[in-house]
Amino acid sequence: MPDRPYHHGDLRSTLLSSAERTLAQRGPGALSLRELAREAGVSHAAPGRHFKDKQALLDALALNGFRRLQASLERARAEQDHAGSDTGDYLLGLARAYVGFAMSNAALLELMYARKHDSDVSDQLAAAVGDMIAIVLDAISEGQRAGEIIEGDPTAIAFTVTSTLHGFASFSGDENTEDVDESLRNVVRLLMTGLSPR
Amino acid sequence: MPDRPYHHGDLRSTLLSSAERTLAQRGPGALSLRELAREAGVSHAAPGRHFKDKQALLDALALNGFRRLQASLERARAEQDHAGSDTGDYLLGLARAYVGFAMSNAALLELMYARKHDSDVSDQLAAAVGDMIAIVLDAISEGQRAGEIIEGDPTAIAFTVTSTLHGFASFSGDENTEDVDESLRNVVRLLMTGLSPR
DNA sequence: ACCTGAACACCGTTCAAGT
DNA sequence: ACCTGAACACCGTTCAAGT
């Protein structure tokens, strides 16, 4: 049982998790395939077997991020189904899931939305964004059926909500968590009531 | 009058505009100080006189971007002052300026909001975002005085509006301009009326 | 199937020296 | 004050060869 077997065994996922840690701790500029290989105890050419180039590794990280973000949103949805809460609370739950992910994975989120992915991967990423909006869309459609959301194209409404969440998440970089949550509740409430006096 | 005088004369701004063109046309990965130096007809070490390192050049690009974005928003504000339009139209004007800039400068906008700048520059960038929100804030405060915007902390309202604009701009990458404008009008209208039935 | 080692072309950065 | 040329350490990528 040598220290470094010739076959690493799990190099691909080792590289991915190592890359994500580096991304979070030291930023995208510190990501180097050669350093990842060194950390994995493998030659600098070994990553090439699992990722055709550096961009392929970044693509995999981004897709992975969307999978986890989506899972987090679905969890928020499941929790709301159990509670019998109204649409505003439902949206707040989704908002907290989105912003929570953004604050815990700021650098990854930036990579997820980066405009530098290969075009085929960009399509997959765009689809992932679509899936995300679809979750908000469900909440909106349910809210409309319950009479708690105005009538009108639910896709357009969901797009507005998701835009707000994403913009808010982008702005709430390294803020205090409590302040952010208070601000977020404010934002969701404003979205519901609107800016025009009634 | 030699082809390449020893002193370039305007190297700093030449590097900046060349960098911005490369950024827009070939993405951030294609940006190399050595290539910029080659394009400027100067040695590869010359950029070091004007930017202490590559990040310093990226910082300058980002700050420049915010200056232009802010100028564009102020132009939208000035236009609204001449017209006697209501707050919704005012906000739509600001929204068009923001989204227009975002669509014409997608890669630059990404750089402007990137979380990898030096901490002192990050402060300047955060201040630039603050200045931007302040323009929206003015619109909101005026709207409140005119009775066209609900009462409540105008900063919180401006923050919500700006979040929505930024999120929308992030999502509206390479879409058709007309579709985007229709979608944007929708978003601003939804922001004004709110999602709750009244 | 998976990895190594050498090789290649390209970086960013520094620094003595030139004009 | 501004730029050059050489030098250094570091990349990403490729490919014959090893196990």
CATH of the domain at B120: 1.10.357.10
Residue of A58, A165, A196 for testing the chain B interface, max B β-carbons within 10 Å: A196
Asked if A68 and A42 sit in the same domain, the reply is no
In this structure, what token pair is assigned to residue B89?
């139209």
Instruction: Taking residues B125-153, report their average pLDDT.
Output: 97
Same domain, B30 and B114: no
In a domain, A56, yes or no: no
Q: Which of A137, A162, A195, A198 best probes binding to B when mutated, by most B CB atoms within 10 angstroms? A: A195
- Looking at the domain assignment, is residue A21 inside a domain? yes
- The burial class, CB within 10 Å (0-12 / 13-18 / 19+), for B176 is exposed
Tens digits of residue pLDDT in B71-110: 999 999 999 877 778 999 999 999 999 999 999 999 999 9
| Contact yes or no for A128/A151 (Cβ under 8 A) | no
Assigned domain for B11 exists: yes
For the segment A88-96, the average pLDDT, to the nearest whole number, is 97
Q: What percent of chain A has pLDDT over 90?
A: 89
Q: What pLDDT is stored for residue B173 in this prediction?
A: 72
Q: How confident is the model at residue B147 (pLDDT cuts 50, 70, 90)?
A: very high
Distance from the Cα of A6 to chain B's closest Cα (Å) equals: 33
Average pLDDT over residues B136-164: 98
- Is A171 among the domain residues? yes
Both structure tokens of A115: 């405009």
B29 CB within 8 Å of a chain A CB = yes
Q: Establish if B56 belongs to a structural domain.
A: no
Contact flag B163-A168 (C-beta cutoff 8 Å): yes
Whether the pLDDT of residue B189 is over 50: the answer is yes
Same domain (yes/no): B84, B155: yes
Total count of residues recorded for chain A: 198
Which protein residues have any CB–strand D distance under 7 A? A 6, 31-35, 44-45, 48, 52-55; B 4, 6-9, 11, 37, 42-46, 48-50
B47 lies in the same domain as B65: no
The verdict on B78 and B167 lying in the same domain is: yes
Least Cα separation, residue B66 to chain A (angstroms): 15
A164 lies in some domain: yes
Are B89 and B42 within one domain?
no
| pLDDT band for position A3 (cuts 50, 70, 90) | very low
Q: How far is CA A71 from CA A128, A143, A163, in A?
A: 11, 21, 19
Averaged pLDDT, A168-183 = 90
Substitution target in A140, A163, A171, A192 with the highest count of B β-carbons within 10 Å is: A163
Degrees to nearest 5, angle at CA B17 with B77 and B128 = 40
B159 contacts chain A (CB < 8 A): yes
CATH of the domain at A25: 1.10.10
Same domain, A47 and A65: no
| Residue B182 token pair | 């229709």
Residues B42 and B70 in one domain: no
Q: What is the mean pLDDT of residues A99-109?
A: 97
Residue A132 and residue B178 in contact, taking contact as beta carbons nearer than 8 Å: no
Chain A CB within 8 Å of residue B198 CB: yes
Are the Cβ atoms of A193 and B194 closer than 8 angstroms? yes
Q: Which residues of chain A does B140 touch, with a Cβ-Cβ cutoff of 8 Å? A: 195
User: B111 and B163 in one domain?
Assistant: yes
Instruction: Pick the closest to residue B14 from B22, B6, B2 (CA basis).
Output: B22
- Within a domain: residue B110? yes
Residues B95, B117 within the same domain: yes
Query: Nearest-CA distance from A124 to chain B in Å?
Result: 15
Residue B40 belongs to domain spanning: 1-51
**Packing angle of the helix pair A54-82, A11-26 (nearest 10 deg):** 80
Structure tokens of A42? 């493998």
Cα–Cα separations (whole angstroms), residue B28 to A61, A138, B11, B77? 18, 36, 20, 32
Candidates A20, A15, A111, A51; CA nearest to B29 is: A111
**Same-domain status, B162 and B144:** yes
Residue A101 placed within a domain: yes
Cβ count near B174 (within 10 Å): 9
Domain count, chain A: 2
* CB count in 10 Å sphere of residue A153: 10
pLDDT digits (tens, 9 = 90+) for A12-62: 999 999 999 999 999 999 999 999 999 999 999 999 999 999 999 999 999
Residue type at position B1: M
Q: Average the pLDDT over B178-194 and give the result.
A: 97
Say whether residue A157 is in contact with chain B using an 8 A CB cutoff: yes
Sign of CA dihedral A130, A135, A136, A140: positive
Q: Clarify whether residues B67 and B45 are in a common domain.
A: no
- Residue found under tokens 């439902």: A90
Q: Report the pLDDT value the prediction gives residue A152, as an integer from 0 to 100.
A: 98
From B115, B167, B192, residue closest to A165, measured CB to CB: B167
* Cβ-defined contact of B170 to A166 (cutoff 8 Å): yes
SS3 content of chain B, % helix, strand, coil (to 5): 75, 0, 25
Q: Nearest residue to nucleotide D5 when comparing alpha carbons to its C1'?
A: B43
